[in-house]
Each structure stands twice: as structure tokens, then as C-alpha cells.
Amino acid sequence: MTAIGLPLIVAILWGTFAVPDAGVLRLALELAIFSFATWALYSTRAVSWCLVLGSLVALHHELSYDRIAWLVGSQ
């Protein structure tokens, strides 16, 4: 059930908050999803992939600082 249910719930939440008015909630959802994915890789001893995903997510958020400022400022 978890193998199907959890990704389905995450997809529904992602689609629900993919609107311009979501703001900080959208940013928090993104960080929660990618933090969980990074933790899941780490907990399965896929440390290399954990570091790759974590680094890419951090790089993405650094390069899209204007989007982050817009999301935070849209409240």
C-alpha cells in the first residue's frame, strides 16, 4: 500500500500547490519532499545517491533564488 499510496499522495499535493498563490507552503512542500527523498536514499545506504540528490536540490534552490524570493514574497 505504501509503495503506491505515498507517491500518489505526494503527487496530489504537488499538483494542488502548483499554483502561484501557494507561496511559502509550496516552498515548504518542495523542501519536505526532497528532504524525505534524500533521507530515504541515506537510510537505504545509497549514500552516494543521497549526496548527489541533496547537492542537486541545493544547487537548484541557489540558482533559482529569484523564484524563492517570489514564493516567499507572494504571501
User: Residue range 6-29: average pLDDT?
Assistant: 86
- Find all residues with CB under 8 Å of 53, minimum gap 6, and list them: 34, 37, 38, 41
pLDDT of amino acid 32: 92
pLDDT of amino acid 1: 60
pLDDT of amino acid 75: 56
Give domain limits for the chain: 2-73
The pTM of this model reads 0.79
Q: Which three cell numbers mark 31?
A: 523542501
